[in-house]
């Protein structure tokens, strides 16, 4: 393979994937979270819309959206404990994927 073809091949196969605008699905994702769906379920639903994302991408985006919509953090130990348990349950569900 000639060098110029090799470099074109290399660039074409190492380019980062285009970023997916999850904001287009934000309202539905938040509705599904409020309805008790797991992140794994939401990723499956997104896949039906031809949107493939890694679990970390969804987790990061949810955290970002939560930070924008609820700037006041709870100091109630009971609520914090529930949030931690939900995060742990969600993480355990996602571990089955990988």
Encode pLDDT of 85-98 as tens digits: 676 676 665 555 54
Cβ atoms within 10 Å of 36's Cβ, excluding its own: 7
Question: What DSSP element (H or E) covers 32?
Answer: helix 26-34
Read off the DSSP letter of residue 72: S
Please, where are the H alpha helices in the chain?
Answer: 3-14, 26-34, 39-48, 55-69, 77-95
**pLDDT for 21-73, tens place per residue?**
899 999 999 999 999 999 999 999 999 998 988 888 899 999 998 876 544 45
Contact 60, 7 (CB under 8 A): no
pTM of the entire predicted model: 0.52
């Amino acid at each position: 393979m000639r060098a110029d073809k090799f470099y074109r091949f290399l660039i074409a196969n190492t380019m980062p994937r285009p970023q997916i605008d999850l904001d287009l699905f934000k309202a539905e994702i938040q509705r599904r979270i409020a309805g008790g769906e797991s992140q794994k379920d939401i990723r499956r639903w997104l896949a039906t819309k031809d949107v493939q994302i890694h679990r970390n991408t969804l987790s990061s985006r949810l955290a970002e959206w939560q930070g924008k919509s609820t700037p006041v953090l709870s100091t109630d130990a009971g609520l914090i404990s529930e949030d931690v348990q939900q995060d742990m349950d969600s993480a355990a569900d996602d571990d089955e994927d990988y």
